[in-house]
């Protein structure tokens, strides 16, 4: 029997050690350690193909890890995956309920899958339809719902049995900003009720809302901490170049030692720089190139953290290749 949990406090909902998954020669998840505390939103941030989905699937027992240890809600995975399945909700990246069933029929089916008896199922479905603004859609086929409505239906289906842990795989990829905000409000409601949420995303604004964040890149965990910690620990600094000729400024700084990344943001050029490239040096370089510009330090944001964390291995690899 798994140890009893009260669902509160600093206990871990998910613990993974040296988690690795290989598909043939491809290493999809490479030696990842994870600690996810209860009643928190834990985010997976990473580009496509970084191993987010594969990690989530291993955590809920849908995929066998090549090596490593997993413990979720006190169950050893994959050995006790069937026991775990009663206590987790899993929302897939692609809508995975039935397009040719109505909203009500979908939820009715899910309630039966979780062995709800009739009256309990009816009560719970009414409650969910109300909470996720699906009351008017009751008799609509799922196929005819909008992206946001589908996503709310999927969320309703995955929390129907009041799981202790909710795993969401890029839940907002097909949804407009308004719906995304509403969706995140619902997630925090669930967290307040004691649910632990693991969510993968590639939106910075969503990542910023997580209690804690793991940045994955090429299957490796490259950063782990609260968004504030990650921003504070940014190894370089963020600079804002204000100039009438942003594109020339960008061209001039291309390849300048210490410049990790650049991005034009309207009339500004945001430069992510490490120790070698100070504000003064960059200003001097631009002056040298005959470009009039003001360079100022700015507060790092999560995108800087993400770029710094995910760019580096690529640079290293490129440098290594150049040396060879």
Partner 1 sequence: MNLRRLLSIVVKELRQLRRDRLTFAMIVGIPTMQLLLFGYAINLDIRNLDAAVLDQAHSAHSREIITALGETHVMNFKYRLDAPQQLDDLLRAGRISAALVIPPDFERRLTVHDRVPMQIIVDGSDQVTQQAARQLAAMPLAGVLDPGGAANPNQTAGNVEIVNFYNPERLAPVNTVPGLIGVILTMTMVLFTAMAIVRERERGNLEFLIATPVSPGELTIGKVLPFVGIGLIQTTVVLLLGTLIFHVPIRGTLLDVYLSALVFIIASLSLGVFISTLAQTQFQSMQIAFFTFLPQILLSGFMFPFAGMPRAAQWLAEILPMTHFIRLIRGIMLRGAGMRDLWPELAALGAFTVVVLSVAIARTRKRLD
Which residues inside 33-62 make contact with partner 1, applying CB under 8 A? 57, 60-62
Indicate which single residue of 115, 229, 292, 316 sits in contact with partner 1 (rule: CB under 8 A): 115
What minimum distance in Å lies between the beta carbon of 143 and partner 1? 10
**Single residue of 109, 248, 274, 278 touching partner 1 by CB under 8 A:** 109
Task: Give the binding-site size for partner 1 (rule: CB under 8 A).
Answer: 34
Calpha distance 70→54 (Å, rounded): 14
Choices 39-47, 95-103, 196-204, 230-238 (CB under 8 A): range interacting with partner 1 = 95-103
Looking at beta carbons only, is 89 or 236 nearer to partner 1? 89
Distances in Å between the Cα of 165 and the Cα atoms of 15, 60, 161, 162 are 13, 10, 11, 9
Q: Which is nearer to partner 1, 166 or 282 (CB)?
A: 166
The per-residue DSSP string of 151-211 comes to HHHHHHHHHTT--SEEEEESTTTTS-HHHHHHHHHHHHHHHHTT-EEEEEES-HHHHHTSS
Give SS3 for 266. coil
Query: Which C-beta is closer to partner 1: that of 115 or that of 292?
Result: 115
311 and 260 Cβ atoms separated by less than 8 Å: yes
Minimum distance between the CB of residue 37 and partner 1, rounded to whole angstroms? 22
Residues 6+ apart with CB under 8 A from 219: 21, 27, 28, 29, 30, 32, 50, 51, 54
* Pick 61 or 148: Cβ nearer partner 1: 61
User: In 3D, which of 43, 75, 58 has the Cα closest to residue 187?
Assistant: 43
Binding partner 1 (rule: CB under 8 A), the pick from 69, 98, 251, 265 is: 98
- Contacting partner 1 within 57-86 (CB under 8 A): 57, 60-64, 78, 82, 85-86
Q: What share of the chain is helix, strand, coil (3-state, %, to 5)?
A: 40, 30, 35
Choice between 110 and 259, CB closer to partner 1: 110
Distance CA 142, CA 101 (A): 6
Out of 100, 192, 254, 280, point to the residue binding partner 1 (CB under 8 A). 100
What the block records as the tokens of 53 is 């989905």
Binding span for partner 1 by CB under 8 A among 100-108, 172-180, 232-240, 297-305: 100-108
Q: Which is nearer to partner 1, 100 or 185 (CB)?
A: 100
């Amino acid at each position: 029997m798994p140890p009893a949990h009260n669902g509160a406090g600093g206990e871990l909902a998910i613990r993974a050690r040296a988690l690795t998954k290989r598909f043939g020669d491809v290493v999809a998840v490479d030696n990842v350690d994870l600690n996810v505390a209860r009643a928190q939103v834990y985010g997976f941030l990473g580009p496509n193909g970084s191993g987010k989905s594969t990690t989530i699937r291993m955590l809920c027992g849908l995929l066998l890890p090549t090596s490593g240890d997993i413990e979720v809600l006190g169950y050893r995975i994959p050995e006790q995956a069937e026991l775990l399945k009663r206590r987790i909700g899993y929302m897939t990246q692609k809508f995975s309920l039935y397009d040719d069933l109505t909203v009500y029929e979908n939820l009715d089916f899910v309630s039966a899958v979780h062995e709800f008896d009739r009256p309990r199922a009816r009560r719970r479905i009414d409650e969910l339809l109300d909470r996720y603004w699906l009351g008017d859609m009751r008799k609509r086929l799922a196929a005819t719902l909008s992206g946001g409505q589908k996503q709310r239906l999927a969320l309703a289906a995955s929390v129907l049995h009041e799981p202790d842990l909710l795993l969401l795989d890029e839940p907002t990829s097909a949804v407009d900003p308004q719906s995304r905000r509403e969706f995140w409000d619902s997630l925090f409601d669930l967290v307040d009720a004691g649910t632990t949420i693991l969510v993968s995303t590639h939106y910075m604004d969503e990542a910023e809302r997580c209690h804690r964040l793991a940045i994955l890149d090429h299957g490796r965990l490259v950063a782990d901490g609260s968004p504030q910690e990650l921003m504070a620990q940014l190894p370089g600094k963020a600079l804002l170049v204000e100039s009438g000729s942003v594109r020339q400024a960008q061209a001039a700084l291309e390849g300048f030692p210490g410049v990790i990344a650049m991005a034009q943001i309207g009339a500004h050029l945001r430069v992510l720089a490490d120790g070698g490239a100070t504000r003064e040096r960059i200003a001097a370089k631009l002056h040298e190139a005959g470009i009039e510009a003001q360079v100022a330090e700015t507060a790092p944001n999560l995108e800087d953290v993400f770029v710094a964390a995910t760019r580096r291995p690529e640079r290293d690899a490129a440098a290594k290749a150049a040396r060879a």
